[in-house]
Structure 1
Amino acid sequence: MLNPIEALLAEKGVLLADGATGTNLFAMGLLSGEAPELWNETEPDKITALHRGFVEAGSDIILTNSFGGTRHRLKLHQAEDRVFELNRRAAEIARAVADSAERRVIVAGSVGPTGELLQPLGAMTYEEAVEAFAEQIEGLKAGGAEIAWIETMSSPDEIRAAAEAAIRVGLPYSFTASFDTAGRTMMGLAPCDIHGVASGLAEAPLGVGANCGVGASDIMASLFDITEADPAATVIVKGNCGIPEFRGSEIHYSGTPELMADYVRLAVDGGAKIIGGCCGTSFEHLAAMRRALDAHQRAERPSVDEVVARIGPLRNKTADQSGQAGSTEGRRERRRARG
């Protein structure tokens, strides 16, 4: 499979992904409980504006408006029979924006979790998950997506199912997990173990990493574990813009453009190769991140204590503190093996 990331990384060293889809669409009028994917047909100009805003702010990679694009998510909106067309349209809109840019911009097809539990915890079989993701990724590929961008995952089996679907469709893929439960995913995956999730599949991922989760400081702790486990890997980090807080009935994120700019510097120093923002990250935040990335010279790898001093406290335990020692032992073995 072609690797669209490799050449751009060779040119730039570190790539800037985009910011939030959902929170920015809410600012454009999306209502709570409404499916963003339906806007690919009903409000295409707003989706175009979303992508264009991120490109103008400096994104090298934009994600399609298709996070909930499997039949399992769309059935909540009576749209499960429109998977292919909604995902194709999502990719077509992003593709048009990328193609009109004055520089190379990669279109990544966003693939989120199905919302279902796989057996034995739930009713969905592994093969059913593969089929559902393949249906979505077929649409994304037809619309011009270059990568299946599997994100915000919790279950290693679901990540693997989505990766297998991308391989079946013939689209290269990356994947990121959300380490939001005591430094691990809800299903117990530790950051240092993410590299092995796709082990043995016919095609390896273009990149792996972390997105969403708790806040910028917490995702930095996950990043350090991921890059320590495999320093040569292309690692993605796409953190939330600070901490969510309610103001009346609305959610606001505490992160300022200055905080997100410093998060970028820390992420570069921590070994990330693709850096973006997740929930709460606006065009203004992303523009500050672009400026920080362009001006920064990679420095010494920071400690968690330095992260806390610069961008705020951890809101959660780290993986090492969560009482599950197996992954920690594996990391010690890897350190011993490297001498």
Structure 2
Amino acid sequence: MSNPLTDLLAEKGTLLADGATGTNLFNMGLMSGDAPEMWNTEQPQNIIKLYQGAVQSGSDIFLTNSFGANASRLKLHNAEKRAHELSRVSAELAREVADKAGRKVIVAGSVGPTGEIMEPVGPLTHALAVEMFHETADGLKAGGADVGWLETISAPEEYRAAAEGFKLAGLDWVGTMSFDTAGRTMMGMTSEAMVDMVHDLDYGPLAYGANCGTGASDVLRTVLGFASKGMPTPIVSKGNAGIPKYVEGHIHYDGTPELMADYAEMARNCGASIIGGCCGTMPEHLVHMRAALDSRPKGDAPTLEQIVEALGPFSSASDGTDGEGPTRAPRRGRRRG
């Protein structure tokens, strides 16, 4: 069936997604440890500003401020009963911005991990995970989201539970994982294994891919891994703006707008058709990414050496698919806390 996301992708060929949520909100005064989702009702003007920053920079898709709007994460702020409400309001604010954009812009309802470890390793049952994802997805749908957007997932069990939650809500979805442990997710999944999982889902995503992780180089190596499997489902690349560094007590990302422009071009050449930024990606980065996608012709897939030359070294010697395990190569900077 038709969906606004697939329709726009068919029309344009490549779509620019948005940038960071947390980085931009911290710059507006959000304090570390606070729940960004609370701002949907407490400071809606800042959430509208966040959304407008992406749209005005040329994004075709932007994510709602609902990454942690599930009962498990909100329980830390005594707001577990507000998951549906905060999800709905995040999408309502986004719908208002998108409908005033003067062009077709997709509202993607951000859905992050529960923050708990699923059985059999941890205590979170499949049924409870599905229930939490369903609640968030239903709120996003009620608020007018065009599509759900699962992101920063590490465990295949949680990805599958989210798929069931979206199905119960009747919401089409996109799903990305974070490959931040020497080419694997924190729970050990490789890019190739993710493609196999996506292919086998009963209610699969409209697009799949990678977000966050380490630097822009690493996410492109993961995208190449996706593309090598030859699956027709569109691929998403949403990499961080460089490597995080601590400067005077704050985290800064060293990726320049020019570097992110090169990243966007190379992501498309690697096989991604939905391209955005994650942590550290600001509106000025998006402007350069938009210009690169609009002005530079699509080329051949880059070699690993060409990726390193343009964007910097990989954080590990392996992409995780060669069975070598998580042996890290030397890297610069520090991991996010």
**Structures share a fold, TM > 0.5?**
yes
Q: Which residue does 2:144 correspond to in 1?
A: 144
| Pairwise CA RMSD | 1.3
What secondary structure sits across from 1:132 in the alignment? helix
Q: How many residues align?
A: 325
CA contact (8 A) 1:17 1:62 kept: yes
Distance 2:292 2:78 in 1: 43
Distance 2:120 2:178 in 1: 21
CA contact (8 A) 2:192 2:321 kept: no
Distance 1:201 1:234 in 2: 15
Give the counterpart letter for 2:297 in structure 1: Q
Please report how far the alpha carbon of residue 315 of structure 1 lies from its aligned counterpart in structure 2 after TM superposition: 1.5
Distance 1:151 1:29 in 2: 24
Matches within 5 A, 1:278-317: 278-317=278-317
Matches within 5 A, 1:17-28: 17-28=17-28
What secondary structure sits across from 1:123 in the alignment? coil
What secondary structure sits across from 2:194 in the alignment? helix
Please report how far the alpha carbon of residue 322 of structure 1 lies from its aligned counterpart in structure 2 after TM superposition: 5.4
Q: Which residue does 2:324 correspond to in 1?
A: 323
Please report how far the alpha carbon of residue 300 of structure 1 lies from its aligned counterpart in structure 2 after TM superposition: 1.1
Please report how far the alpha carbon of residue 291 of structure 1 lies from its aligned counterpart in structure 2 after TM superposition: 0.4
What secondary structure sits across from 1:261 in the alignment? helix
Distance 1:11 1:199, change over 3 A: closer
What secondary structure sits across from 2:214 in the alignment? coil
> What is the percent sequence identity of the aligned residues?
53
Give the counterpart letter for 1:168 in structure 2: L
TM-score by length of 1: 0.93
1:160 aligns with 2:151: no
Please report how far the alpha carbon of residue 189 of structure 1 lies from its aligned counterpart in structure 2 after TM superposition: 0.6
Deviations 1:295-325 (A, max 9, x none): 1211111111100001111112322355259
Deviations 1:247-299 (A, max 9, x none): 02100000000000000110111110100000000000000000001012111
Distance 1:205 1:257, change over 3 A: same
Matches within 5 A, 1:102-117: 102-117=102-117
Q: Which residue does 1:91 correspond to in 2?
A: 91
Q: Which residue does 2:330 correspond to in 1?
A: none
CA contact (8 A) 2:208 2:236 kept: yes
Please report how far the alpha carbon of residue 243 of structure 1 lies from its aligned counterpart in structure 2 after TM superposition: 0.2
Q: Which residue does 1:175 correspond to in 2?
A: 175
Please report how far the alpha carbon of residue 21 of structure 1 lies from its aligned counterpart in structure 2 after TM superposition: 0.1
CA contact (8 A) 1:238 1:277 kept: yes
1:223 aligns with 2:243: no
Distance 2:325 2:245 in 1: 30
Give the counterpart letter for 2:324 in structure 1: G
Q: Identify the range of structure 1 (227-236 vs 162-171) with the bigger mean alpha-carbon deviation.
A: 227-236
Distance 2:27 2:219 in 1: 25
Distance 2:321 2:194 in 1: 15
CA contact (8 A) 2:108 2:145 kept: yes
What secondary structure sits across from 2:209 in the alignment? strand
CA contact (8 A) 1:164 1:201 kept: no
Q: Which residue does 2:334 correspond to in 1?
A: none
Distance 2:316 2:37 in 1: 31
Distance 1:231 1:57 in 2: 31
Distance 1:78 1:146 in 2: 29
CA contact (8 A) 1:57 1:287 kept: yes
Please report how far the alpha carbon of residue 128 of structure 1 lies from its aligned counterpart in structure 2 after TM superposition: 0.7
Give the counterpart letter for 2:241 in structure 1: C
Q: Which residue does 1:46 correspond to in 2?
A: 46
Distance 2:252 2:203 in 1: 39
Q: Which residue does 1:100 correspond to in 2?
A: 100
Please report how far the alpha carbon of residue 231 of structure 1 lies from its aligned counterpart in structure 2 after TM superposition: 4.9
Q: Which residue does 1:270 correspond to in 2?
A: 270
CA contact (8 A) 1:22 1:279 kept: yes
Give the counterpart letter for 1:257 in structure 2: P
Deviations 1:81-119 (A, max 9, x none): 111111100000111000000110000000000000111
Please report how far the alpha carbon of residue 164 of structure 1 lies from its aligned counterpart in structure 2 after TM superposition: 0.9
Please report how far the alpha carbon of residue 7 of structure 1 lies from its aligned counterpart in structure 2 after TM superposition: 1.3
What secondary structure sits across from 1:281 in the alignment? coil
What secondary structure sits across from 1:229 in the alignment? coil
What secondary structure sits across from 2:73 in the alignment? helix
Distance 1:61 1:200 in 2: 26
CA contact (8 A) 1:182 1:322 kept: no
TM-score by length of 2: 0.94
Deviations 1:126-145 (A, max 9, x none): 11100010011111110001
CA contact (8 A) 1:234 1:272 kept: yes
Deviations 1:55-104 (A, max 9, x none): 00000001000000110000011100111111100000111000000110
Please report how far the alpha carbon of residue 229 of structure 1 lies from its aligned counterpart in structure 2 after TM superposition: 1.1
CA contact (8 A) 1:163 1:198 kept: no
Give the counterpart letter for 1:82 in structure 2: R
What secondary structure sits across from 1:320 in the alignment? coil
Distance 1:271 1:118 in 2: 32
Distance 2:231 2:119 in 1: 33
Please report how far the alpha carbon of residue 202 of structure 1 lies from its aligned counterpart in structure 2 after TM superposition: 3.5
CA contact (8 A) 1:167 1:202 kept: no
Deviations 1:139-186 (A, max 9, x none): 111000111100000000100100110011100011000000010001
Distance 1:116 1:252, change over 3 A: same
